[in-house]
């Protein structure tokens, strides 16, 4: 072990320091002895005092004490009268010894403090430089692996090893246990209010804990690692968002192009099929029936392409809102007239709050939302079931709901029902392409509202909100 070699070396060095103190005192005596008859005793005392000061400055407190006693003894033996007689009991010698001891101890203490401050300043400068280097390395890191590599290099210089686990949530204990993360000390990598991971540190030697300086250094390292992981997280999120935006733009462009190019031939096909179906007198019955089926399917395809084209326009923000202050009751009535699946066996219950204020919205677009929701409610309702359309005032919104007595939304898929080409039942005899709710979501969010779906007793409901703004003041024509 390193301690077996460190102890003899330290002892040898201390013995050399004491021998050097003795040598300095004898050297001072050798220099002053030829001048004994030319110098006064106070001058010779000052020489020995200088020797004690030098020893205290260079060698420390213990050698300074030895130098003080030896200097007094040499002064008394060689310079004080009678010569070559050692007598340390008088008051003058005691006072001289006390002064030399005081000078030696005070000097050694001052030098020790200055050396400690210098060492501390160098250590802080070295620590700052190393933190700067690891911060620079982490600033250029592209993933958690590079952050861990920089952290391990920093820890190895301090006799430590570390392991890093990047977490996507605050359940660090479970995540650490799953990765077999062990160590004497664990430091959460917290950036703001989010914990990005945990850093576990273990000494490379047999120690069972971290020193205070090591603990502070690892805390600083954990802060840098947390900031680096936070930056990497948001950089990856921004990259994913850019890819999603580019993908959405490409899909909208393709849908818009296909829808636009196919609408013209489909319009022609609908017209020809309609002409054949109406010429019943000139066609056999089965041919006329087939022509009617072709017309109906072509109309359904035409509606699908129209929805695709409209959805592409909404996604590309090329369908501007034409909002006006108007009563919501009017758009409810027009939506019921336009809904496709209204039949004699369908019972629609209208429940509108009394004295609804004017709402600022695009009547054509909100009418389309209500038509899509009513169409879905009619398609998935049981025969003879009731459909309800209600509107009530909330704090800052108008909340509208369309519910039916029929099948519920699939469990676990309610949040995804507003995606493109998502249907409640993938394999179903009910016609549809899964665009109605996606169009509703785009229109409602363009108005600054929100839309959601939920299951109710015996059926399903879709609710959406429109902002309840303050209408402008009406100025009378009679006012100046």
379: its two tokens: 């398609």
Read off the pLDDT of residues 86-134 as tens digits, 9 standing for 90 and up: 665 566 666 776 777 777 778 777 877 887 888 888 888 888 888 888 8
- Tell whether 335 and 452 lie within a shared domain: yes
Lowest mean pLDDT among 193-202, 282-291, 446-455: 282-291
- Tell whether 220 and 261 lie within a shared domain: no
For residue 131, tell me if it sits in a domain. no
445 Cβ contact list (under 8 Å, min separation 6)? 451
In this model, does residue 85 exceed pLDDT 70?
no
In this model, does residue 197 exceed pLDDT 70?
yes
What mean pLDDT comes out for the span 349-360?
A: 90
Task: Give the residue from 206, 237, 268 where a domain finishes.
Answer: 237
Read off the pLDDT of residues 41-68 as tens digits, 9 standing for 90 and up: 778 888 888 888 888 888 887 888 888 8
For residue 282, tell me if it sits in a domain. yes
pLDDT band at 23 (very low <50, low <70, confident <90, very high): very high
In this model, does residue 320 exceed pLDDT 80?
no
Give the per-residue pLDDT at 5. 36
Give the per-residue pLDDT at 3. 33
CATH number reported for the structural domain that contains residue 168 in this entry: 3.30.450.40
Is 180 or 358 the better-scoring residue by pLDDT? Answer: 358
Give the per-residue pLDDT at 269. 75
- Tell whether 311 and 364 lie within a shared domain: no
For residue 295, tell me if it sits in a domain. yes
- Tell whether 381 and 432 lie within a shared domain: yes
DSSP secondary structure, 207-267, as one string: -SS--HHHHHHHHHHHHHHHHHHHHHHHHHHHHHHHHHHHHHHHHHHHHHHHHHHHHHHHH
Distance between first and last Cα of the chain:
101
For residue 18, tell me if it sits in a domain. yes
What mean pLDDT comes out for the span 376-388?
A: 80
In this model, does residue 178 exceed pLDDT 50?
no
For residue 135, tell me if it sits in a domain. no
What mean pLDDT comes out for the span 159-163?
A: 76
Read off the pLDDT of residues 460-471 as tens digits, 9 standing for 90 and up: 899 999 999 887
CATH number reported for the structural domain that contains residue 416 in this entry: 3.30.565.10
Give the per-residue pLDDT at 255. 63
What mean pLDDT comes out for the span 321-350?
A: 80
- Tell whether 308 and 328 lie within a shared domain: no
For residue 136, tell me if it sits in a domain. no
- Tell whether 66 and 156 lie within a shared domain: no
Give the per-residue pLDDT at 78. 82
- Tell whether 297 and 336 lie within a shared domain: no
pLDDT band at 399 (very low <50, low <70, confident <90, very high): very high
**If DSSP codes are grouped into helix, strand and coil, which group holds residue 348?**
strand
For residue 274, tell me if it sits in a domain. yes
- Tell whether 54 and 73 lie within a shared domain: yes
- Tell whether 193 and 301 lie within a shared domain: no
What mean pLDDT comes out for the span 321-347?
A: 79
Give the per-residue pLDDT at 6. 41
Give the per-residue pLDDT at 86. 63
Tell me the C-alpha to C-alpha distance, in Å, between residue 203 and each of 151, 183, 320, 404: 14, 9, 64, 66
- pTM for the complete prediction? 0.47
pLDDT band at 179 (very low <50, low <70, confident <90, very high): very low
pLDDT band at 1 (very low <50, low <70, confident <90, very high): very low
Cα gap 288→295, rounded to integer Å: 11
Give the per-residue pLDDT at 449. 93
Task: Give the residue from 237, 264, 284 where a domain finishes.
Answer: 237
- Tell whether 458 and 328 lie within a shared domain: yes
174: its two tokens: 């479970």
- Tell whether 441 and 333 lie within a shared domain: yes
Closest C-alpha to 109, from 52, 61, 54, 50: 61
Give the per-residue pLDDT at 176. 43
Residue 363 contacts residue 331 (beta carbons within 8 Å): yes
- Tell whether 463 and 333 lie within a shared domain: yes
Domain range enclosing 328: 324-467
What mean pLDDT comes out for the span 259-282?
A: 70
Query: Which run of H or E residues covers position 320?
Result: none
Structural domain count of the chain: 4
In this model, does residue 349 exceed pLDDT 50?
yes
Task: Give the residue from 186, 209, 237 where a domain finishes.
Answer: 237
For residue 148, tell me if it sits in a domain. yes
């Amino acid at each position: 072990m390193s301690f077996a070699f460190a102890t003899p070396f330290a002892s040898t060095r201390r013995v050399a320091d004491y021998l050097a103190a003795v040598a300095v005192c004898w050297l001072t005596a050798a220099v002053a002895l030829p001048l004994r008859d030319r110098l006064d005793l106070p001058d010779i005392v000052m020489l020995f005092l200088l020797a004690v000061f030098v020893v205290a400055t260079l060698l420390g407190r213990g050698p300074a004490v030895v130098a003080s006693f030896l200097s007094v003894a040499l002064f008394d033996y060689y310079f004080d009268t009678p010569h070559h007689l050692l007598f340390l009991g008088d008051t003058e010698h005691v006072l001289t010894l006390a002064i030399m001891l005081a000078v030696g101890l005070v000097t050694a203490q001052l030098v020790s403090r200055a050396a400690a401050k210098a060492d501390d300043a160098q250590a802080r400068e070295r620590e700052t430089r190393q933190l700067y280097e690891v911060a620079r390395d982490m600033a250029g890191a592209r993933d958690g692996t590079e952050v861990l590599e920089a952290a391990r290099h920093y820890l190895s210089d301090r006799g430590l090893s570390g392991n890093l686990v990047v977490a996507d949530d605050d359940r660090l204990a479970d995540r650490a246990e799953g990765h077999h993360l062990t160590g004497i000390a664990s430091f959460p990598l917290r950036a703001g209010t989010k914990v990005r991971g945990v850093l576990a540190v273990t000494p490379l030697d047999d120690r069972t804990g971290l020193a205070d300086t090591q603990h502070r250094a690892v805390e600083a390292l954990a802060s840098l690692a947390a900031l680096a992981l936070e930056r990497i997280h948001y950089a990856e999120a921004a990259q994913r968002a850019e890819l999603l935006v580019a993908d959405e733009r490409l899909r909208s462009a393709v849908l818009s192009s296909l829808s636009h190019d196919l609408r013209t031939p489909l319009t022609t096909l609908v017209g020809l099929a309609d002409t054949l179906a109406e010429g019943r007198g000139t066609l056999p019955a089965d041919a006329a029936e087939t022509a009617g089926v072709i017309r109906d399917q072509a109309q359904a395809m035409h509606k699908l392409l129209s929805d695709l084209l409209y959805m592409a326009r909404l996604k590309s923000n090329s369908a501007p809102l034409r909002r006006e202050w108007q009563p919501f009751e009017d758009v409810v009535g027009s939506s019921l007239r336009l809904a496709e699946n209204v039949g004699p066996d369908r019972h629609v219950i209208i429940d509108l709050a009394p004295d609804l204020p004017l709402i600022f919205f695009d009547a054509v677009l909100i009418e389309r939302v209500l038509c899509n929701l009513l169409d879905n409610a009619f398609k998935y309702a049981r025969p003879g079931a009731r459909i309800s359309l209600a509107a009530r005032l909330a704090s800052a919104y108008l909340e509208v709901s369309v519910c039916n007595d029929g099948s519920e939304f699939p469990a676990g898929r309610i949040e995804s029902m507003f995606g493109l080409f998502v249907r409640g039942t993938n394999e179903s005899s009910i016609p549809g392409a899964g665009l109605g709710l996606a169009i509703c979501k785009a229109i409602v969010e363009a108005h600054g509202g929100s839309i959601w779906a939920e299951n109710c007793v015996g059926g399903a409901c879709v609710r959406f909100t429109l902002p309840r703004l303050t209408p402008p003041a009406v100025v009378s024509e009679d006012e100046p």
